[in-house]
Amino acid sequence: MTNKKIVLPMLVVILLICTSLFILKQRAGHVGQFPEDMPPFKYPSTVQDKSKTDAPPAAGFLPTEMEDHARFEAWNTNLSGLGQCLGVEAGTLNAQDDFNVEALHKVLAPAFGEVAKVKDKWTSVDTKSKDGEIRRVFVEYEGELEAPEAPQNRTVRHYTMLVTGKVRDLRLDGELKDNPSDAAIAKLVEGREVITEMKSRVATYKNADELHFVERNGKVYSFVANHLRNYFRCTDADSDQMKCSCN
């Protein structure tokens, strides 16, 4: 009887300690497990409203070369090595082309031809509340990319993004746990300001070449063009710090 009186309080104490440690861990956050091709998240100084970063000049539409000459030069300088790297004839970017995937398709078209299918790999939306809290809705897609009409199952994760660079998990309702609908996912961003939208996709061409690319707020952030096991890779393509390599 005496032993039971001692053991029971000890078990209660241990349970309380474990619960407290779990709560503290949740508050402190953890390192989010995101894909390698996702742009790094910097909080809060570099987080900007996408409507401001991608807004057209106040004077009206200008050709890309004039609107952002440094980035235009970075694209043309780096893309000049694409043909040599892949051993193909490549197109060029002209002054009217935007820094998006359509421009990339145009550059690759002489060698890769027409796009046969495009599949999602993942999408991510960062939102901000009125009190400044940043949340991320991350959706990962599954399914055979080789099958053009194959439905892709989706897995959703919802986070609070912390100043430390870590994330805190947010609970998902039942309708979001098993291949949720677009409408269910959209509810997670209702009433919040969208600050960053990202998506990773793969385009397969009719000749079986591939273009893996990541877009951030409608602009290409990075891409990998694959032709006969030769790879041309670029990152930071939505800035004048664009870098490319051949391997």
Question: Residue 198 pLDDT more than 90?
Answer: yes
Q: Checking DSSP bridges between strand 219-227 and strand 210-216, what pairing results, if any?
A: antiparallel
Query: Token pair of 40, please?
Result: 């790094």
| Calpha distance 222→168 (Å, rounded) | 27
- Condensed to tens digits (0 to 9), the pLDDT of residues 207-226 reads 999 999 999 999 999 999 99
pLDDT of residue 66: 64
Separation between Cα atoms, residue 85 and residue 87, nearest integer Å: 6
d(CA 193, CA 223): 28
Helix (H, G, I), strand (E, B), or coil: what is residue 106?
helix
Nearest partner of 217 among 8, 55, 1, 63, judged by Cα:
55
* Alpha-carbon span 170 to 172, nearest angstrom: 6
Predicted TM-score (pTM) of the model is 0.79
Q: Residue 59: its pLDDT value, please?
A: 42
CA distances from 28 to 3, 137, 149 (A): 37, 19, 42
Q: Which helix (H) or strand (E) holds 78?
A: helix 69-79
Q: Tell me what pLDDT residue 175 has.
A: 86
Q: How far apart are CA 16 and CA 201, in angstroms?
A: 46
Write out pLDDT tens, residues 28-56: 457 678 999 999 987 755 445 444 444 44
Confidence band (pLDDT; 50, 70, 90) for 183?
A: very high
208 SS3 class: coil
How far apart (Å, rounded) are the C-alpha atoms in residues 102 and 9?
67
Lowest average pLDDT, out of 144-148, 152-156, 168-172, 213-217, goes to 144-148
pLDDT in tens, 53-112: 444 444 444 567 667 888 889 998 999 899 999 999 998 888 888 889 999 999 999 999
230-235, strands of its sheet edge to edge: 167-169, 153-161, 134-142, 115-128, 193-205, 210-216, 219-227, 230-235, 243-246
Predicted local distance difference test score (pLDDT) of residue 187: 94
Residue 96 one-letter amino acid: Q
Tokens 């996709």 -> residue:
201
Q: What is the mean pLDDT of residues 126-154?
A: 83
pLDDT in tens, 4-24: 556 666 665 555 554 444 444
Check if the beta carbon of residue 192 is closer than 8 Å to that of residue 128.
yes
Residue 66's Cβ-count burial label (10 Å; 0-12, 13-18, 19+) is: exposed
